[in-house]
Chains A and B, each alone.
Chain A
Amino acid sequence: MEWLRSALLPPQGSAFAGEIDFVYMFILWLSIVLFVGIVGAELYFVWRYRYVPGRPTPHQTHNTKLEIIWSVLPLLLCVGLFFWGIDGYMKFAVAPGDAMEVQVTAKKWLWQFEYPDGTRTVNEVHLPADKPVHFVMTSEDVLHDFYVPDMRVKRDVIPNRYSEIWFTPTALGEHVSTCAEYCGKGHSDMHAKVFVETKEKYEEWMATGGDEWMKHTPEEWGKIQYEQKGCATCHSLDGAKSKGPSWKGIWGKMEKLQGGKTVLVDEAYVRESMLQPQAKVVEGFEPVMPTFQGLLRENEIRGLVAFIKSLK
């Protein structure tokens, strides 16, 4: 029956797709049996009892036994299906604790994904195979709906609310997510690509943060990191003193350090300040900066260096 399943349903991309498809196929066969029964009886009666002039018909008003049977049997069937349906539903009602959490923001008409480490992507999401993933979703404008047919998951994305979805992707390759709640002009173009990758490939992608950085000049990329990674909280761009030295005109300067030494602000020093900020603290500032070791990728560090360099 695999041919029928694959004709009627999309490929199975998640751990519970098989289970849901099994229920689907069961109901399908049940329906086919009932349908053939009903329409078969209809056609048979139409042929067998076709009109003959003057033939009298029996006066059968009811048959209590029969009527009880055909009320109770479907009821039992429905009760069975109900529990089966709940069973399947409840399995993916609550995400397991070790699931990777991805924040999803929907707006007209794109999907934005944010990973635990702050990496952001638009209209594409990369997932490691066989590891549960938990999407926490909200909308910035109207209702949307995150639907990945291959994963058999779907949930409305609502402004001012968080809705959740989780699944364990199993099938490697590219899958499509679509918006399933009408949201206007771009509704039917609001797709995101869901890449399910091997652990190695996924980690490689994570290490480079995707290819978004290649679309920008290093200076632009650095500015994006400055805004997204929280540098702006302590380092101003206009010379104003904050918790940390301003970046304006800092490049190439000789900075006086705590303890009296001086240091040239060059690539080596800037890089060191990001990864080991306590090593050389500029005079007049508290040693409060956290380390960004592991939080900044190589391309991001290079971008930040280029950005600082550009601030004359």
Chain B
Amino acid sequence: MADSKAQSVAFVRKTPIPQAPPPISEAGPLAWIRTNLFSGVFNSILTIIAFYVVIRFVMGVFPWFYNGVWDASSIRECKDKLDGLTGGCFAVLADRWDHLLFGFSYPPEGYWRIVLSFVLLMVAAAPLLFANLPRKMLYFTGFFPFLAYWLIWGGSIWVSMTLLAIIIATGFIYRLVAIQIDVEMRKIVAMGIGAICGVGLAYLLYLGASELSFIAGSIGTEGIVALIANKAFWAASIFTYVFFIPMGIFIGYAIYNSYEDGGLVSVVAALLFFGVAISYLVGPIWMGVNFILPIELEAVASRDMGGFMLNMVLGTVCVSLSIPLGIVLALGRQSDMPLIKGVCVVFIEFIRGVPLITLLFVANVMLAYFLPPSSNFDLILRVIIMITMFSAAYIAEVIRGGLAALPKGQYEAADSLGLNYNQATQLIILPQALKISIPGIVNVAVGLFKDTTLVSIISMFDLVGMIRGPIQNSTEWISVYWEVYGFGALLFFVVCYSISQYSQWLERQLATDHR
């Protein structure tokens, strides 16, 4: 066959023709421009308008950057240097760099402490963010908050170390009572704890009842509101008087009665220990250790925190606290127990119904009315509590969405495997629900981070407060505007964009479905 073909055909090509370049209208930059920018009349018009806008924008903004003055000591000197040209006065950033980042009252020789905390934050956050890092790094993550507190606020290292030790000891006590001792032993412990708690609660209620009657007496009965309040307080007082002993006995007995499985008694024992240790042990221990081995940094008051650091501290602390709290609230809202469900629903709906600004005002000014003047309930702590509560309520709703998105079969499968509630939640429900909730949680986290600038309203000098207050109102930099706000926007953009990029990467990592 082959022979005959060779004879019947005059020429047979043995090698392929070299590939010709595609026609110029189908490849290369010209084709790209045609398909992407000028593929039709309408798109061509849009392209031309867009080009015009971009060029005008660049023409406007470029000289502002190009002529920008980086070296001047006041806005007048800056304007002299510009001499009528359009140009930004970036010297304000150089002059007030430290203030923008760290606030104006943080001691300058302590800036390294904040920088170090920031670097360590990256190290501590890494194992949480990237699952392929060694799990042992999580020990450092647990240790980091205490270290960072010491670095930023200063004072003796033993304050936070004592706190850490007490928290670890509390964990051990929980394990001891819950797992390690046998039932006979636990029965004795439960008897003791139950007696303490029963008597203690009865005593507290007794105090509360007398307090209520005192308030009722001091309200008086003038006017309808006062009259109603008076009656209400009397009723509450009498109610408490009647029930303080039964309540004490009931709670005490409930604790004692839990000795067989050890759930309630171990939690109560651990909490009791924690409360006592925080109240009575922290002070003596850290002072004692510090006397022997003083490791101290210059103490910095909360009022002296400021700049972008304050935003970072508030953002980091509040996000990391509000996610666990949000999970608990979301699970609580799905609970079958009406009391727990009720508390969670009321909390979430109340917080979501109130603007964050209002909560911050309460934290700043209203609490000061209630607390005695000598008590120094830290302002940053108050703000952290309020922002955490606020974002936890939102995160709870996001996670509830994730929980609701799980097919009912998942819950039933967990039950059919014989898993109890804790196991099912930890192993089956939450991993899936949280994965679904990632975009929502990140959304709340980014929003929360930007919301930390609201503290400038209650006269804390965070980045925005710093710009609006001391910088724009200083004699040197009076009314400087775009440069400082632009810088602030840049800082926030860098952080928020990184968070968003991470979350998209995480979603791809966790994508186990086949879409």
**Are chains A and B native binding partners rather than an unrelated pairing?**
no
- A→B interface (CB under 8 Å): none
- B→A interface (CB under 8 Å): none
